[in-house]
Structure 1
Amino acid sequence: MGGPRDEDPPVLLESSPVTQSLNVKPEEITLTFDEYVKLENPSKGIVITPRINNDEVEFSALKNIVTIKLNQELEDSTTYVFNFQKSIVDISEENPAENLKLVFSTGNSIDSLGISGTVGYYFPPSKPDFSNIIVGIYPLGDTTDVFTAPPYYLSQPDTTGNFNITNIKSGNYLAYAWKDLNGTLKAEFKSEEYDFILDTLVIEKNIENVRFNLSKADLTPIRILRTSQFGKNFDIILNRDPTEITLESPELGKEFFYTFSENRLRIYTTKTKEDSIPFQISLQDSVGFTQDSLIWAKFADSDRKPDKLQITANSGKSFLNNLEIELKFNKPIKDINFDSLYITYDTASRIPITPSMLLFEDSTKMDLLKIKISLPDSLKQDIFTIKASDSTFYDVEGQYNESELSANYRKLKRENLADEISGRIIGAKPPFIIQLLNTKGELVAEQFLTNSDSYSFQLLEAGTFKIRVIEDSNGNKRWDPANFFEKRNAERVFYFVNNENKEDLVIRSGWSLSEQNIQAITQTGINKIPVDNKD
């Protein structure tokens, strides 16, 4: 009472067995400290390698002694490592014991090999968290893997993503990294980010510069869960979102239209049918799984009241000369009243929208309307507003929009814009997806390079940006995650990094930044020392 706060961690006085002991097979391990201690989540926090049956291990703390009952026989000629991390803390202030590790061997030598490297993300969050990440290796030929059992050897990265697995027995291994949110020491491919190295690690000497890049890749095959009539329409419910949908029927785009939202594909009809109608549906998900099915859909009369027609606009977008508007509808659109659809730029002036300015992105869906208008330089106003009164849009179920639409767009001034950001991608081959991101991580501009490694973003608002490059190996103009079952890593993602090793790129009005070269250095596997951001 009244004394100084205890800031000293507990100090290990002795252990049984003693660290670095040889030819020991303890049934029980004890550690004695210089003060009273307690355990914090030891079953998760104390990392034991190589793999043992953690369910049988008993941890306890009494006064200043920690006891570990193994309740199992250890393997012959094997080096065991007990890494206590922050699981042993003092009673008074919960200061954790520092750098506490116990190493012993059941044979006559201590295994001393190791692997080290870093863990990152293909799409890093603003504040990367490495607290629940595990790096683990499995002996080649082991019947288990990262999804079925804990690893044989494992480690956890530090706060910057660096890891080090020590005291490994020489041999051939497969290596993985994953975010273990549920503490099972296994990866859950439906919900947890993970990565794996395709090549076998031949550990005969220390291996450095191993790199993992975490991302989510749900390996559940895509499938149709159920089908049912919904009012006069027909629903196809999927277990997950596909990346590609192909729906085929002779009258699709004429009498039938469809939308997709939240795992549900809904086919709309312009009139009821007595007979069932066949639809051929092909699905593909992000990891490459496909399903082809023939669906017989029924479109019968129904008393169910149709949903109201709703509109969402890409309001708030900026533009220079061409105003590009997108209107997203919750249902397919059948007709438009152009008399009540126009652009305003002051209290008295308006620009009528005509059919030549419109384009539906997909004539079989009719739920995404794109409007493109070229505005003359003589219009000096900053804000342009699209207006649509009620009953402007008419959907396939006979519903009009009940609410008025009003969405604003900002016209940029040429003198306030930066001229260009340009450069090359070094160390990778096209095709590429080049993305310009703002400080919120939002996509500002995007380019697809099929046969070139040079990019150029022109006429940009002044600000701070990041440049992200996706190595689009299959040229499908999207990033493809890993597929563990097909032994395929995710497509590489890398970022522009300046001379100060920062990703931020600042550009001002009138500036032109050339030779902003991007080095492809983020690669899963054993990496060479990164090279400078120069050609």
Structure 2
Amino acid sequence: MGGPQDEDPPIVLEMIPKDQSLNTKPKAIVITFDEYIKLDNANKNILITPRINKDEVIITALKNTLEIELNQELEDNTTYVFNFQKSIQDLSEGNPAENLKLVFSTGEQIDSLRVTGSVNRYFPGKNDKIENAIVGLYPIDDTTNVFIAPPYYLSQVDTAANFSISNIKAGKYFAYAWQDDNNSLKAEYKSEAFDFIKDTITINQNIEGLHFNLSKGDQNPINLLRSSPIGSNYTIVLNKTPNEVLLKNDKIGSEIFYTIGEKRINLYSKSIIADSISFNLNVKDSVGYEVDSLIWAKFEESERKPEKLTISANSGKNFYQNLPIELTFNKPITDINYDSLYLAYDTASVVKISPEMLSFKDSLRRDVLRINLLVPDSIPYETFSLKAADSTFRDIEGQYNEVALSANYKKLKKETLSDEISGKIEGSEGPFIVQLLDSKGELIRESYIESGNQFSFKLIEAANYQIRVIEDTNKNHRWDPANFEEKRYAERTFNFLDPETGNGNILIRGGWIVEDLVIKATPNTGIKIDQD
């Protein structure tokens, strides 16, 4: 009491077995320190390689002694590494033991091969921490993989996104990396980002530059679960929400329309069809799995009350001249009352919306309506409101919107806008999807580059931005995650980084031209062998 704060970590006085011991098969490991200790999440933070059954291991700290009861037979001629990271701390202040590691061999020699590299994360979430990622090696004759069991050798990634696996026995291995959010030491195929090396890695010398790009994508193949009438409509239920839907029938787009919901496809008919009619259905998920099926659907009379028609608008958008209005409905729209649909920009002035201003994002669905409207600078107002009275829109089931719609949009002045931001992409070949993101990572603009490597965004609102590039190798105009079964890597993404600061933010002010930006492609997932 009253003395200086204890800032010294625990110091090891004795290890049983001793570090670097040979020909030893301990039943337990005992480490004695110079002060009382405590454990911090030992099951997660103590990394043991090669793989042992951690469910059988009992770890206890009593006074100044750590004891690890293994409760299993260790393999012959194998080097074991116990990396304690920051799991052992002093009792009073929580100072972790520094660089604490125990290495011993059950055979005549210590395996000394090493694999090092780095990990990148595509589309990181706000709470994702790269230090929660794991890199693991599985022997080629191992019947498990990253989704089934923990790896034989593993390492946790550090805060600089680097990793090092040491004391590896020479052999052939499969290599994986994954975001181990639930601390299971294996990847969750639905929810955790992961990556892999396609080819077997032969480790007979030190390997440097192993690189992984983590991406998230549900690896469970898409399947049709069931289909049945619901009221006068017809619903197809899937095990996951499809990315692409192709329905073939002569009535699709004229008499029958569809919407895509959470894990389902809803079919709507303008009229009752008592007899079953066939649809050829093809659905594809985000990782590239697809299903073809023949569906027989009925659209029968029903006393079930139709779902109410709802509308959501992209209200709050800022614009310059081209007003980007988009209305999303929960069901296909068949009729619009143009007398009650208009754009208001002061208490008395309005612009009537006419049919030629409208278009559906997908005419087979008719659930997303776009209003294309040019607002010239001669109209000296900033705030514009799209107004739609109740009963303006009628859906395919005869339901009208019961609630009036009001969506506001702000017109920007040209002098407040940046003239242009432009640059080029190096180290990759297109096509490219180039995305302009705000400081929160939200998409503001997007352009598609079929050929070449030059990009440009014009008349941009003053703010801080980031730029992300997606390498669209399959030319489907969207990013595709990895497919584990087909051993297909995720499409690469890379961001602009200032070469001097390493920062990705780009400051834009009114009247500025920002040019000659260079966006360099991140490394491919792969390996570089150290020949030294």
**Cα shift readout 1:380-412 (whole Å, capped 9, x = no counterpart):** 211111111111111111111111111111112
8 Å Cα contact 1:257-1:268 kept in structure 2: yes
1:506 aligns with 2:507: yes
Match of 2:525 in 1: 524
Alignment partner of 1:258: what SS?
strand
Alignment partner of 2:275: what SS?
coil
Residues 1:180 and 1:27: Cα distance change in structure 2 (over 3 Å): same
8 Å Cα contact 1:333-1:367 kept in structure 2: yes
Counterpart of 1:296 in structure 2: which amino acid? W
**Cα shift readout 1:19-52 (whole Å, capped 9, x = no counterpart):** 0112222222111111222333333321111112
CA distance in 2, matches of 1:241, 1:131: 31
CA distance in 1, matches of 2:67, 2:106: 19
Match of 2:425 in 1: 425
**Cα shift readout 1:231-290 (whole Å, capped 9, x = no counterpart):** 111111111111100112221222211111111211112222221222221100111101
8 Å Cα contact 1:494-1:522 kept in structure 2: no
Counterpart of 1:321 in structure 2: which amino acid? Q
8 Å Cα contact 1:137-1:173 kept in structure 2: yes
CA distance in 2, matches of 1:324, 1:43: 53
Counterpart of 2:88 in structure 1: which amino acid? I
CA distance in 1, matches of 2:242, 2:315: 27
CA distance in 1, matches of 2:440, 2:32: 51
1:285 aligns with 2:305: no
| 1:109 CA drift (Å) | 2.0
Alignment partner of 1:274: what SS?
strand
* % identity of equivalent residues: 58
Alignment partner of 1:515: what SS?
strand
| 1:126 CA drift (Å) | 4.6
Alignment of 1:299-314 (within 5 A): 299-314=299-314
Alignment partner of 2:299: what SS?
coil
Match of 2:112 in 1: 112
Q: Structure 1: any 5+ residue segments left out of the alignment?
A: 530-535
8 Å Cα contact 2:436-2:445 kept in structure 1: yes
| 1:132 CA drift (Å) | 2.7
| 1:165 CA drift (Å) | 1.0
Match of 2:65 in 1: 65
Q: Structure 2: any 5+ residue segments left out of the alignment?
A: none
8 Å Cα contact 1:82-1:103 kept in structure 2: yes
1:184 aligns with 2:178: no
CA distance in 2, matches of 1:206, 1:175: 15
Residues 1:42 and 1:376: Cα distance change in structure 2 (over 3 Å): closer
CA distance in 2, matches of 1:41, 1:350: 64
**Quick check: 234-243 or 94-103, which moved more?**
94-103
Match of 1:237 in 2: 237
1:54 aligns with 2:54: yes
**Cα shift readout 1:103-161 (whole Å, capped 9, x = no counterpart):** 11122222222112222211133564134321111122322211122111111112232
Match of 1:464 in 2: 464
Alignment partner of 1:298: what SS?
strand
Alignment of 1:189-228 (within 5 A): 189-228=189-228
8 Å Cα contact 1:493-1:522 kept in structure 2: no
1:8 aligns with 2:13: no
**Quick check: 501-510 or 65-74, which moved more?**
65-74
TM-score between both structures, scaled by the size of structure 1: 0.95
Residues 1:299 and 1:348: Cα distance change in structure 2 (over 3 Å): same
CA distance in 1, matches of 2:198, 2:65: 44
Residues 1:326 and 1:527: Cα distance change in structure 2 (over 3 Å): farther
Match of 2:86 in 1: 86
Alignment partner of 2:186: what SS?
coil
CA distance in 2, matches of 1:113, 1:274: 71
CA distance in 1, matches of 2:494, 2:118: 15
TM-score between both structures, scaled by the size of structure 2: 0.96
Alignment partner of 1:430: what SS?
coil
8 Å Cα contact 1:315-1:407 kept in structure 2: yes
Match of 2:97 in 1: 97
8 Å Cα contact 1:122-1:213 kept in structure 2: yes
**Cα shift readout 1:361-384 (whole Å, capped 9, x = no counterpart):** 222211111111122331121111
Alignment partner of 1:328: what SS?
strand
| 1:493 CA drift (Å) | 0.5
**Quick check: 177-186 or 434-443, which moved more?**
177-186
Counterpart of 2:479 in structure 1: which amino acid? W
CA RMSD of aligned residues (A): 1.8
Counterpart of 1:397 in structure 2: which amino acid? E
Match of 1:148 in 2: 148
Alignment partner of 1:9: what SS?
coil
Counterpart of 1:113 in structure 2: which amino acid? L
| 1:204 CA drift (Å) | 2.5
Alignment partner of 1:376: what SS?
coil
Alignment partner of 2:342: what SS?
strand
